[in-house]
Structure 1
């Protein structure tokens, strides 16, 4: 029997964001989901049937069969959608009405990653691994910017365990939205995280969660 949620995805940082969160929801609430792997090496995500789901032709895409097959694209938007509809106890976020400041703080770090770490590190990956010609400027530009953004996270994590929330912070979407990108730091020729010890501790803490490990093995 199929579940209400269907995830179209591929083993990329953006795909792993969503599969990790779905594994968190499964552990917390018993939320079930189905997965269809998209072979991006064959440009399956550019086929007409997929473009109907996401005109941008990118994974991941979530189809919620519990809600009239409503579909959501963009990884951070999918996280926020799932939290709104399936995290009723706010185990992975903050109540936007009762706790608006911490909710806003979480959003700030989600958008920091979505507009910064992901695009910049993604470009670093491209110039180092996939560009058809060697372009030293592109390599340096995007690797340096990725390192700068890691430095921002290092500053934030001073005396904190997680990016958002009171005190030392609370594990939330803010964390799981960016850690899947940092997991691929070597693709940007950042061989270790030793330059950022607080970030490294936080990274180790998040990836050590059983749900994280389950999520990065989907599909």
Structure 2
């Protein structure tokens, strides 16, 4: 076994360590170049990419439209993180954290910026009065929403990075984050043994938040052989829930928006009207 022993220096300094996303990673924030963001005709302007966090926002918009909220029409603009689009002056003005998704809400008297996927879901749920209960179950839904928000870094930046993207394979971090990812699936599986959805009897923003992360594991479409490596099939209640949500028309549409890879029929780099889905589904 290769000796990967590392003694941290007294003061850390960044190094060129390779990896799939090494070219965009820096220990500083802020704009790296000047570029304004495009804007369309709708009240809501979304800037995103079809990663699990980005899919949360597009699914939410599509679910609102599916439910009859015509005022939820939106323009979705592609932010290609591999090309550092997220570090433009326009994007960092909308999201100082430089991460997708980010939303400009022009529906009120003044423009409002919303960044972080969980905040976007909560903002839209409250604005439209949808997918978030107002009775005693509200706290349960919000608890599961923030459970997902808090757990995503362990799955993505933790397990996903060290298992699929790191330039070298280290057993300790892979074991550490594999254990945590399986624990999180077990949390969800036990919860879904109690009811149809994470928040209770109704489909809510808790499910919209969790599904884009968990469904790809059940399908085997994320992080190479992660489905087999983590024995995802053993989480039968998650599988039942994932299959149901993946079949929703709005979820199918939301997964395509701001997707710029794969088969042409499975991607939609920008979305400006329902007509953009023609021939895609």
- Please report the TM-score for the alignment, with normalisation by the length of structure 2: 0.71
Gapped runs of 5+ residues in structure 1?
none
1-structure distance, mates of 2:194, 2:91: 44
- Give me the whole-angstrom Cα distance separating, in 2, the residues matched to 1:149 and 1:195: 13
**Is residue 54 of structure 1 aligned with residue 91 of structure 2?**
no
Match of 2:154 in 1: 120
Query: Residue 232 of structure 2 corresponds to which residue in structure 1?
Result: 193
> Which residue matches 1:181?
213
Structure 2 unaligned spans of 5+? 1-39, 259-281
- Of 88, 99, 114 in structure 2, the residue corresponding to residue 72 of structure 1 is 114
Higher relative contact order (CA 8 A, sep 6+): 1
Following TM superposition, by how much is the alpha carbon of 1:214 offset from its aligned partner in structure 2, in angstroms?
Answer: 0.4
CA shift for structure 1 position 134: 1.6
RMSD over aligned CA atoms reads: 1.4
Offset at residue 76 of structure 1 (A):
0.4
The TM-score, its normalising length taken from structure 1, stands at: 0.90
For 2:82 and 2:118, how far apart are their aligned partners in 1?
23
* Shift of residue 132, structure 1, vs aligned partner: 2.1
Structure 1 residue 82: Cα displacement = 0.5
Q: How many Å apart are 1:45 and its aligned residue?
A: 0.5
1:49 positional shift? 2.0
* Aligned structure 1 segments of 4 or more residues deviating by more than 4 angstroms: none
| 1:66-118 C-alpha deviation (Å, 9 max, x unpaired) | 13221100000000000111x23x3x1101xxx1x2000000000111101x1
Structure with higher Rg: it is 2
Matches within 5 A, 1:37-116: 37-67=78-108, 68-85=110-127, 87-88=128-129, 90=130, 92-95=131-134, 99=135, 101-116=136-151
1:147 pairs with 2:182: yes
> Is the Cα contact below 8 Å between 2:162 and 2:170 reproduced in 1?
yes
C-alpha displacement of 1:133: 1.8
Structure 2 Cα separation of the partners of residues 184 and 138 of structure 1: 21
Q: Distance in 1 between matches of 2:170 and 2:45?
A: 39
Give the whole-Å Cα distance in 2 for the aligned partners of 1:177 and 1:137.
Answer: 29
Q: In the aligned structure 2, how far is the partner of 1:57 from the partner of 1:80?
A: 20
